[in-house]
Amino acid sequence: MTRLFNDPAAFADEALEGFTAAHRRWVRPVTGGVVRATATPAGQVAVVIGGGSGHYPAFSGLVGRGLAHGAAVGNVFASPSARQIHSVATAAHAGGGVLLMYGNYAGDVLHFGQAAERLAADGVETRTFAVADDISSAGPEESAKRRGIAGDLPVFKAAAAAAEQGLPLEEVLRVAERAGARTRSFGIAFSGCTLPGADHPLFTVPEARMAVGLGIHGEPGIGEEALPTADEAARLLVETLLKELPEDVADPAGERAAVILNGLGSVKYEELFVVYRRVAALLGDAGVEIVDPEVGELVTSFDMAGISLTLTWLDDRLEELWRAPADTPAYRKGALDAAEPDLARASVTAAAQDTAVPAAPVVPAASDASRGAAETVLAALDAVARVVDAHADELGRIDAVAGDGDHGIGMRRGSTAAHRAAADAHGLGAGAGTVLTRAADAWADKAGGTSGALWGTILRSLGTALGDRDAPDAARVAEGVTDASAAVRRLGGAEVGDKTMVDVLVPFADALAAATAEGLSLADAWDRAATTATAAAAGTADLLPRRGRARPHAEKSLGTPDAGAHSLALITRAVHGALLDHH
């Protein structure tokens, strides 16, 4: 288990601070993550990677010449926020555009997509690419839904090496697409990981058994088998991957492959070598030529006891890029000429941050009526933070049934940050709309992950509807909730029946709109809608998830409500209490 930490909520920030202090030759810190400490040639495409903490050396350890130009680092097992990604990409940009790369998880897709939109609005040409290499998480016919695990490394490296050669953005993206299409991974685990501050692992494996088809966020495997010997484990990994070849590879015999045997945190290097000796022999028997294999910890999951095997099927071009030199804190290959530190850009970044800190916060002008409504908004956000804090452990347990168990942690970070930002805005005389939009930004920024993006969207939709001019009536609040419901479905792509928060948000919004249309007061209408939300959340226990990290473990979640739906129902009831107190 993770034993050395201070405040678990500060673990990711403190780990990043220590990482940058230890590796100043390669990286320098910026808001949201790290960028190269060495100069990038003007006009070179910047490859910016990222994801949650807990996977070192992914993602910060892969920043340096020959690999990433920057890494956005989120909280533990949570995607970085769009603001963090935008900050890192802006610092890394050298005039040739930006390619954002990440594992294929809903939160990462949302936040990196939003960051790409912001960069484009800044005039920075930007493309995105999600690595989806885990064959256990979806079948070949749904390969776009697969998770990104240790295949991140060869795909990141191919794109970054192409950028180093001076190729334009579209060609760098095509290299990433080619590498991604030819990369497959599969893993097994013997025990789950334990998050900082937790007293139990996210999942357990029975004695003398192993989980098959694991993820890298503490998700349980898709099945269990008897505990193998090292040779049996090697055979399972190799035979599983050889069953699914890229479309343009008819037979593995005579093909070349980059091979990665990855340890997930607790399996020792000597154990990995014992397994790899058999992996190499089996691939050799199949006629595969192994090119520059990697054996070690490349993408981890805290202290998970598990391993994964990755094969990237190489052509001449991909082999050239795989063999290309790289120099990062955690991954080095070949030799590079000495590089000059990027002193000019570092000083510009530092100056910008220094000048940004003392700027006096300002809020838009607001009417007295809206400032009065802001008091109710603040009370509601306080109630949200308190109910989330009280149920954080429960939400984590529910989420761990088929997901990664971090929903309670993320909701606590987000709701606490939102309430703090709202209080600051209210203290400056902000209206209800501004209080909500400041809370929205803080929630999305501090929580990260899918829930951070979606709750940021909910609060922003409400803030836009309420505005800063008038005292909002029940109908306007209902309109804002309806707008939020539509925005969440548009952003996340989920619909009723997918076993997500949408299964609660849609009936809640509909019930609130209907009750206010009948002429009920806001408190009474909200009470009725919250009752609907509670029933809808309970009903998700009978559903099978069709989206998100729980989808590969659909059967495991049957009988358990969705964590996001349950937290939303708790929040609607808590807000009703605040409305009664400020009626």
Active-site residues, by number, are: 217
The C-alpha atoms of residue 145 and residue 493 are separated, in whole angstroms, by 13
**Is omega for the bond preceding 57 within 30 degrees of 0, making it cis?**
yes
DSSP conformational letter for 44 = P
DSSP conformational letter for 142 = G
The C-alpha atoms of residue 373 and residue 432 are separated, in whole angstroms, by 6
The C-alpha atoms of residue 401 and residue 544 are separated, in whole angstroms, by 13
The C-alpha atoms of residue 529 and residue 512 are separated, in whole angstroms, by 5
- Sheet hosting strand 98-103, strand order edge to edge: 27-30, 33-36, 70-76, 46-53, 98-103, 126-131
H/E stretch holding 71 reads: strand 70-76
Helix (H/G/I), strand (E/B), else coil: 337: coil
How far is it between the farthest Cα atoms of the chain?
78
The C-alpha atoms of residue 54 and residue 77 are separated, in whole angstroms, by 6
**Which long-range CB contacts under 8 A does 294-297 form with residues at least 24 apart?**
294/153, 294/258, 294/259, 294/260, 294/261, 294/262, 295/260, 295/261, 295/269, 296/261, 296/262, 296/263, 296/269, 296/272, 297/56, 297/57, 297/262, 297/263, 297/264, 297/265
The C-alpha atoms of residue 417 and residue 283 are separated, in whole angstroms, by 51
- Calculate the dihedral angle through the C-alpha atoms of 155, 159, 161, 165, rounding to the nearest 10 degrees: 160
Distances (CA, A) of 150 to 18, 548, 553: 24, 19, 20
Residue with tokens 């939709």: 461
